[in-house]
Structure 1
């Protein structure tokens, strides 16, 4: 298993990605910024972009593989990939939840939820686009900024990311999409290219 972690570069990439995520959430706290929008007014919480380093780190780790050796081997690489992705996302969620009482930044909890949502989106997109699937969560964030807000500044329910931390539909959407993404991992780990 240690060789698998080294081959995936997980011991280097993922701690750095989680550290950048943590620093970003700490620095942004509950800061809202007015960003240009095509529809309505978008007053976006800055921590909405915090999951990007975690998703990018997971993309690097999951693409660092030896397909022929993994497909022909007897080890259960798909299970290890699933456990690794789940552990990283759970770490991001726990970090976000721990930061709420420590800093008073309520949006830190939403950053963890958004990490699960955008990771699930990346994993689902990866089955269709391959490694370029990492661009889909970034495109989602841009679509949310440009099209995701009503004229009153309230986000549409489909956006998930800018919803407040306690929004039940956002939490449900993040959980469903994350589980759907996790379900795609065994299929991707058995592909040769």
Structure 2
């Protein structure tokens, strides 16, 4: 387990990502920039950028592997990977919720859900896109504010990042993304053992 921990570089990359995420959540709060060219007008909350360090760290850490050692059937490396992802996302959710309560920021609460959603989308495509999987959360963060609002300014149903924190549609989308990520990670990890 020590070699897995060192190979994944969790002590440096993940720790830096969670610190940067906490700093962004605490500083951005409800700050926004205006996007006049977006459909329906509207603003982009800077908080939408907060999940990107977590997603980048997940890609870097999970792609830092020793293929020969990871493929050994005596160790379930994919289970360690899933546990590391769960701990990192749990820390992000706790930070977002604590900042939401202490700093009275609705956007900090939404950042928790958005972090889990974007990380799950990233992990769902990671086995196939490899390092290029980071494009998924970046593109989602860039496209959603531009196209995610109707002409009345209300978020469209698919724009999960723009929905309130407890919106049922957004939570269902987040749950679906988490399920897809878990299936992708588990099936890829097991396939690695079979074909290793």
Task: Assess same fold via TM > 0.5.
Answer: yes
Structure 2 Cα separation of the partners of residues 57 and 36 of structure 1: 32
Structure 1 residues 173 and 11, CA gap change in structure 2 (3 angstroms):
same
Aligned in 2, Cα 1:141/1:37: closer, same or farther, shift over 3 Å?
Answer: farther
1:57 aligns to what? 57
Output aligned runs, 1:55-94, within 5 Å. Answer: 55-94=55-94
Partner of 2:22: 22
Provide, for residues 95-151 of structure 1, a one-character-per-residue CA deviation record: whole Å limited to 9, x for no partner. 111111211112111101001100111011223322211111111111112211112
Per the TM alignment, residue 73 of structure 1 is displaced from its structure 2 partner at its CA by 4.5
Aligned to 2:141: 141
Equivalent in the alignment of 2:103: 103
Gaps of at least 5 residues in structure 2 are none
Per the alignment, residue 173 of structure 1 pairs with 173
The 3-state SS of whatever aligns with 1:44 is strand
Structure 2 equivalent of residue 158 of structure 1: 158
TM-score normalised by the chain length of structure 2 = 0.92
C-alpha displacement of 1:176: 2.0
RMSD: 1.7
1:6 is the counterpart of 2:28 = no
TM-score under structure 1 normalisation? Answer: 0.93
Shift of 1:72: 2.4
Task: Give the CA deviation at 1:174.
Answer: 1.0
8 Å Cα contact 1:41-1:153 kept in structure 2: yes
**Structure 1 Cα separation of the partners of residues 112 and 143 of structure 2:** 20
57-66 or 172-181, which deviates more:
172-181
The change in CA–CA distance for 1:71 and 1:160 in structure 2 (over 3 A counts) is same
Unaligned ranges ≥5, structure 1: none
How far off is 1:167 after superposition?
1.4
Indicate how the Cα distance of structure 1 residues 185 and 98 shifts in structure 2: closer, same or farther if over 3 A, else same. Answer: same
Larger displacement relative to structure 2 (1-10 or 125-134): 125-134
**SS of equivalent residue, structure 2 residue 161:** coil
Shift of 1:187: 2.7
Q: Deviations over 1:148-167 (max 9, x none)?
A: 11122221110101112221
Report the Cα offset of residue 32 of structure 1: 2.3
List per-residue Cα deviations over 1:2-39 (Å, max 9, x = no partner): 22111110111111101101100111101122125442
Whole-angstrom CA distance in 2 between matches of 1:88 and 1:128 = 22
